[in-house]
Amino acid sequence: MKICFLMYPWDRIEPETDSTLRLIHEAASRGLTVAITTTNNLTVRDSETYAFCNVLTKSQKTSSNIPAFYKSAEFKRCKLPLRGFDAIIMRANPPLDTTALNFLDSVRNDVFIMNDIDGLRIANNKLYPASFSGEAAKFIPATHVSKSQEYLEQVLEESPTEKMIMKPLNGYGGRGVIVVEKNAQQNFRSLLEFYIGGEQGNYVIMQEYIEGADQGDVRILLLNGEPIGAMRRVPSGKDMRSNIHAGGKEVKHTLSKEEKQLCKALGPQLVRDGLYLVGLDVINGKLLEVNVLSPGGITRINRLNRTKLQKSIIDFIENVISARELVVERKNSFRKVIEDAEAI
């Protein structure tokens, strides 16, 4: 099997903690052909989409130590047609490069792409949770999105709670997330002016403050709509954000009954949207965000639970490819029967 990882640059990997590196290492350990590239390396030639890739060489044994594997990895630079891969694994960091998705449109019928490019288009923003309905809707906190300063001031004033969460619509990694309180409204207008910005303005999210947020959140990894691992992220004490890159610390976590119900309610829509590997951020049974572009946490969840989630993920990809190949094989065998009948 041949896999292309469309990701961030290799030299930006933090080998001790990087989730994508765990997937690459697992694929290489199985003897699969592994290529890595970035969105800047996509190109079109004669109406065919190519990528300038670094292909992992198979000249040496794959070290079981992942940081050692990272340091000793050798690559061969090639320009390769994306249509020749069995799978393309999307692992680029936010924000979403929509032009890169346009390149992939031409190969989507021939290559399994995880996550699906249409799914990424609709889900790679903080508005996606608003699309959940029915049983799933009860897990979504009250959310207001606007670039109207007057409206957002009204939202805070009429809020049934004394504080709310404010964050930029296009933020990620916990950047720009703050708590705003009713008793500090004299500063709120100035904050809105900063967040909304210039003449065109940026969208701002005002979200119901969920009790227990000061105790951190839970990151749940879902594969094909089912939870495969989770961890609790606890704020450092100097920052209300629990994101690891914002100073938070991870601790072991077992899913509660309510969190399992949340996963069961959300899973079917995620799969329908082609979002096979996602990270859910949850506080007190409420969904805050769905991370679909490059969900992390694999390394830390592995360490906390003595597991290897990357095995399950690569197993899933191999099973999808095998099923697709079986469909093609059956189709060709049926065509042969028809051709033989015509020859009689």
Residue 243 confidence (pLDDT): 55
* pLDDT at 174 > cutoff 60: yes
From 94, 114, 134, give the residue that closes a domain.
Answer: 114
Of 39-53, 87-101, 126-140, 233-247, which gets the smallest average pLDDT? 233-247
Residue-range definition of the domain harbouring residue 11: 2-114
Q: Is 320 inside a domain boundary?
A: no
From 157, 189, 208, give the residue that closes a domain.
Answer: 208
Query: What does the alpha-carbon distance between residue 275 and residue 129 come to, in Å, rounded to a whole number?
Result: 13
Q: Is 53 inside a domain boundary?
A: yes
Residues 194-205, mean pLDDT to the nearest whole number: 88
Residues 17 and 31 in one domain: yes
The dihedrals phi and psi of 164, each to the nearest 5 degrees, come to -140, 165
Residues 76 and 107 in one domain: yes
Q: pLDDT tens across 119-159, in order? A: 999 998 788 998 899 999 999 999 999 999 999 999 999 99
Of 145-154, 183-192, 262-271, which gets the smallest average pLDDT? 183-192
Determine the straight-line distance between the first and last CA of the chain, rounded to whole angstroms: 38
Q: Tell me 203's DSSP state.
A: -
Residues 183-202, mean pLDDT to the nearest whole number: 86
Residues 335-340, mean pLDDT to the nearest whole number: 89
What's the CATH code of the domain at 22? 3.40.50.20
Residue 66 confidence (pLDDT): 97
Residues 302 and 200 in one domain: no
What's the CATH code of the domain at 247? 3.30.470.20
Residues 226 and 294 in one domain: yes
Q: Is 119 inside a domain boundary?
A: no
Note whether 167 and 177 are within 8 A (CB).
yes
Could you tell me the pTM of the whole model? 0.89
- Pairing of β 48-56 and β 33-37: antiparallel
Residue 157 confidence (pLDDT): 92
Confidence of residue 172 (pLDDT cuts 50, 70, 90): confident
- Helix or strand or coil: residue 91? strand
**AA identity, residue 266:** L
Of residues 225, 226, 244, the one with CA closest to residue 234: 244
Query: What does the alpha-carbon distance between residue 266 and residue 252 come to, in Å, rounded to a whole number?
Result: 23
Q: Is 61 inside a domain boundary?
A: yes
Taking each continuous run of H as one helix and of E as one strand, the counts in the chain are: 9, 16
Q: Is 58 inside a domain boundary?
A: yes
Residues 21 and 101 in one domain: yes
Residues 230-241, mean pLDDT to the nearest whole number: 76
Residues 185 and 108 in one domain: no
Q: pLDDT tens across 307-330, in order? A: 999 999 999 999 999 999 999 999
Q: Is 326 inside a domain boundary?
A: no
Q: Is 147 inside a domain boundary?
A: yes
Residues 225 and 193 in one domain: no
Q: How many domains in the chain?
A: 3
Residues 10 and 107 in one domain: yes
Residues 226 and 181 in one domain: no
What's the CATH code of the domain at 189? 3.30.1490.20
* pLDDT at 47 > cutoff 90: yes
Note whether 220 and 259 are within 8 A (CB).
yes
Which parts of the chain are beta strand (E)?
2-7, 33-37, 42-45, 48-56, 75-81, 87-91, 112-114, 143-146, 163-168, 178-181, 204-208, 217-223, 226-234, 249-252, 277-283, 286-291
